[in-house]
Amino acid sequence: MVQDRKFITTEPLLTGGEQAESVVWMAICQHFSPRDCIAYWRYPIFSKLGTFRKEPDILIVDAQLGLIIIEVKSITIDQILGITGHRWELQEFYTTQANPYQQAEHQLFALLDYCNLEPILHQKVPGRVIVALPRILQSQWQHRGFHDLPSSPPILFQEDFSPRTVTPDPASLIEKIRNAPLVVRGGQLSQEQWRMLKAIISGTPLFRAPSRRFFFNSTDHLEASLTRSAVLATVRQRISELDLQQEQIAKVIPPGPQRIRGIAGSGKTVLLCQKAAQMHLKYPEWDIALVFFSRSLYDVILQQIDQWLRRFSCHQISYNRHNSKLKVLHAWGSKEQPGFYRTICQAAGIWSQSVQRTTRLNANEALAEACHHLLASATIPAIFDAVLIDEGQDLMVDDDLKFEGKQPFYWMAYQALRPVNLDQGNSPEPIQKRLIWAYDELQSLDSLKIPTASELFGDEWGQFVTGEYGNGIKKTEIMSRCYRVPAPILTAAYGIGLGLLRPQGLLTGMNWVEDWETLGYKVTLPNRVFNEKQSYQSPVKRGEQITLQRSDQNAPNLVAEFWKKPLIEFEVYRSRLEELTALSDRILYNLKIDGLRPSREILVIILGSGWEAIQLETTVANFLMQQGIDIFIPGTPDCNILKPSSHNLHANQFWCEGGVTISRIHRAKGHEADMVYLVGLDHIAQVENHLNFRNQLFVAMTRSRGWLRLSGLGSYPFYEELAQVIASAHRFTFRFRFPPQRDISITEVGELLRRYQNGDRNFQGANLSGLDLTGINLSYANLIGANLQKTNLTHANLNYAKLVVANLRGSEITGANLQQVKFVGAHLQQTRLNACNLKRADLSDADLTQAQLVRSNLKDANLSGANLTEANLSEANLQGAIFQDAKCRDVILIGAILSDGKIFVNESNNPD
């Protein structure tokens, strides 16, 4: 069953002991599928029960029924010794006592407490608690007389989870749940209340900006609605719609590695913090590390971790950085604060290197050099159960710094992890470890390497995070919705960052239409016509015109809805003095008229790099102070200090109350403000073809939550490009001049094709189930043991490919070129192979039960030992085909050309 995003399994149901629980969960998914609801298997709200914490087995949040908690007990009737009140006495179970109904009641009340904090939901949400006994029949329960007990709870029995078509009870599962007594009566939820309830379940109000009063000068002649503070006051009262993808990513604990690729402002850091907090509460014995690159993110991450721990534990647990199995670690660390690298060095008994002892200037390269030295000097001890990496793109380095073909930091992290499954045996697959990394390749400020699995660990691990674990848990998640940046600014950031309207051709781009669509664009190729069901799995051709249109749905920030003037401004000046004068005038306007606060609501970012950026930062700071504006330089101990002393460095501090932060781009990354000023655009314009500087501009622009102003000096062609990008709004039309300087891939398909085009043919064991690979060329590819179940391979070119023991159940392979493909032992049940060229293909011992091979060319194919039961071979060419020991019961051969060249007419010609 392909699960809808609204049915969230926070951990896969894999173990044998969870078989009965799985039956209950799958029945809930089936029956509630048409309803407006969200359901969770093990929703992370942990109520204290004795010496351990327990989360609800199943939580259903339904627009009509409210909150429903189902406590599942996988016990037989013989395991129940007796029931006294709410306490059940058990035998041959993991515990001798259980209190399922009261346990679920505690969890329900914990959730209702959060609902009651919102006035709109106070005492309005109905709630039910039900016990599910999937291994006990109702008749068995009644035979023991338990139904007559005054404390007998509402129960769902074994027969309630049978398929709908055979259930003996005319009342559906939904009706039994509806008829369960209400623990809390509540009422019928309005649309607004339902929207708020979903937000509360996801934890969205946790990060809603606190409301505050805005004061205005009585002499001002502006309406309050025209000020930025008034817009912010309105926007901050709104809560975003629940994002089911975000909800699933945040609350799932994967049973192995996971990659999260998200655009700027999509919430990657928040989701990692939520995931880490949930892991820590569910498995307090685990050693967990949440790792990041920018030191100025320390306080942000610690605050979020603490908030999520309090939320999931019903405010019983907060973060203790000094005594916690959950460690928040800078990638490198310092003498004062242990980082990830230094922690591993200490565990390995190796002296850690400082930045000064490395030969590299860039921080990412210096760290990689230190990790390389550690990997070469010692065996890395496995000291963590899960490692979560934020800002993954900043930990990449070029090939000359790799360790045995692997990215040093990531290989060190992988080595430091304990295996998830100790019983992996002699499997050729990489050992499963919980390495979770999040990144956005467009925010790379140094190396342009992208943290794909093959880049991190070599081509042989290229499919490390391809496909799913089961129960809808994906190994790779791609997030294209941006919640931070308003649509006009985000679109402009992509337009100028990628160089979409650059006269010489775009700088960063993608070959495949599906990649552009996954990034959040609607793609139009005017010279090509596509059917609705036809995939865009052919590359954009060189010189072809392409139109990209970004939907506002992928940038749901509401500022643009209430601010009727442009959100993005761009102005060029003749001198730096003019530029800074205009900057100070506008900041003073923001403070005095707009009512913005200097700290966290206004941010000045200095563009450029090296000494010229340092100089400009100092110049801007001095000028603003001369105009009476308090400023703050990140890392200094207080406002209006230009440089920290060596003994008074506050490397983690980015904001200071009362001061406008002025920052260069590396420190600003990961932070955001409502009004953002970018100064020194001429530093970018002078080297506009440099990818790192384009990325720098993209990162700077996407720091804005509301308004953006860019300024620079001189006259450059780049300025004309920027003006065109801003004027184009959300729609870009350009010629695709291939190849761009940086060709990136977003989707799993795009990544696979990139690897194939780069000469990689080894995709052994790859999980490509359910993907649309229409028209793909994978000839000569090694797909031995690959999972291609229900994959669309229509018109694909797979000639000479190796698909030995591969799983292609239910796949669509109509019209594909499969000449001399090795399908030995492959699973091809119910696969559609109509009109395929299978000339000389090796299908020996393959299972083709109920497969369709209508009009396929099987000339000289080897079908020895194959199972063709009920297969349809109508009008197929079977000349020279070998059927030795094949099972051909009820095979359909109408019009087929048989091995001896005769056309099948009646049953007597059956090759069996």
Tens-digit pLDDT profile for residues 597-622: 999 999 999 999 989 999 999 999 99
CB 866 within 8 A of CB 887: yes
Tokens representing 440? 């956005």
Lowest-confidence range among 116-125, 311-320, 351-360, 899-908? Answer: 899-908
Cα 371 → chain centroid: 27
Residue 511 CB neighbours (<10 A): 22
Token couple for 805: 């023991």
Q: pTM for the full model?
A: 0.88
Could you read off the pLDDT of 259-274 as tens digits, one per residue? 999 999 999 999 999 9
CA separation for the pair 573, 582 (Å, rounded): 9
H or E stretch covering 656: none
Could you tell me the strand order of the sheet in which 87-90 lies?
80-84, 87-90, 97-98
Q: How far apart are CA 213 and CA 911, in angstroms?
A: 85
Cα–Cα distance, 652 to 573 (Å, whole number)? 34
Task: Identify the pLDDT of residue 533.
Answer: 43
Q: What is the pLDDT of residue 16?
A: 53
Distance CA 549, CA 27 (A): 40
- Please give the structure tokens belonging to residue 199: 């937000």
Count of CB atoms situated within 10 Å of the CB of 15: 9
pLDDT confidence band for 511 (50 / 70 / 90): confident
Nearest residue to 288 via CA among 326, 342, 318, 245 = 326
Per-residue tokens: 697: 């501009």
Give the angle subtended at the CA of 306 by the CAs of 301 and 310, to the nearest 5°: 150
Does the pLDDT value for residue 775 go beyond 70?
yes
pLDDT band at 472 (very low <50, low <70, confident <90, very high): confident
Q: Give the mean pLDDT of the chain.
A: 88
- Report the amino acid identity of residue 736: F
- The residue whose two tokens read 């207080």 is 638
pLDDT computed for residue 381 by the predictor: 96
Has residue 763 got a pLDDT over 90?
no
Chain center to CA of 558: 23
pLDDT for position 888: 92
Give the tokens for residue 320.
Answer: 């203790």
**Position 532 confidence tier, pLDDT thresholds 50, 70, 90:** very low
Mean pLDDT of 860-867: 95
Residue with tokens 């030795």: 884
Q: Are 817 and 837 in contact (CB under 8 A)?
A: yes
Q: What pLDDT is stored for residue 425 in this prediction?
A: 47
The single-letter code of the amino acid at 199 is: A
Give the whole-number percent of the chain exceeding pLDDT 90: 66
H helix or E strand, kind and range, residue 746: none
Contacts of 615 (CB under 8 A, 6+ apart): none
- Count helices and strands in the chain by DSSP H and E runs: 23, 31
pLDDT band for 63, please (50, 70, 90 cuts): very high
Kindly report, residue by residue over 226-261, the tens digit of the pLDDT.
Answer: 899 999 998 888 777 778 899 999 999 999 999 999
Q: Name the least confident of 122-136, 455-469, 726-740, 754-768.
A: 754-768
- What whole-number distance in Å separates Cα of residue 384 and Cα of residue 408? 17
User: What does the chain come to in residues?
Assistant: 912
- The angle that helices 363-377 and 408-415 make with each other, rounded to 10 degrees, is 50
- pLDDT(592) > 90: yes
C-alpha R_g of the chain = 31
- Minimal CA–CA distance to 498: which of 489, 510, 486? 510
Check: CB of residue 898 under 8 Å from CB of residue 904.
yes
State both tokens at 668. 């600003």
Residue with tokens 């939820």: 189
Q: 619-661 pLDDT, tens per residue? A: 999 999 999 999 999 989 999 999 877 666 777 899 999 999 9
pLDDT at residue 168 above 50? Answer: no
* Residue 909 pLDDT: 45
How far is Cα 177 from Cα 593, in angstroms, rounded to an integer? 56
* Residue 720, CA distances (Å) to 685, 726, 741 in order: 10, 10, 21
For residue 76, what are the β-bridge partners? none
The listed range with the strongest mean pLDDT (328-332, 677-681, 791-795, 903-907) is: 677-681
Query: For residues 851 and 853, what is the distance between their CA atoms, to the nearest angstrom?
Result: 6
Query: Distance (Å, rounded) from C-alpha 78 to C-alpha 91?
Result: 8
The three-state secondary structure class of 39 is: strand
Rounded to an integer, what distance in angstroms lies between the CA atom of residue 225 and that of residue 229? 8
What is d(CA 465, CA 392) in angstroms, rounded to the nearest whole number?
Answer: 15
What percent of the chain stands above pLDDT 70? 92
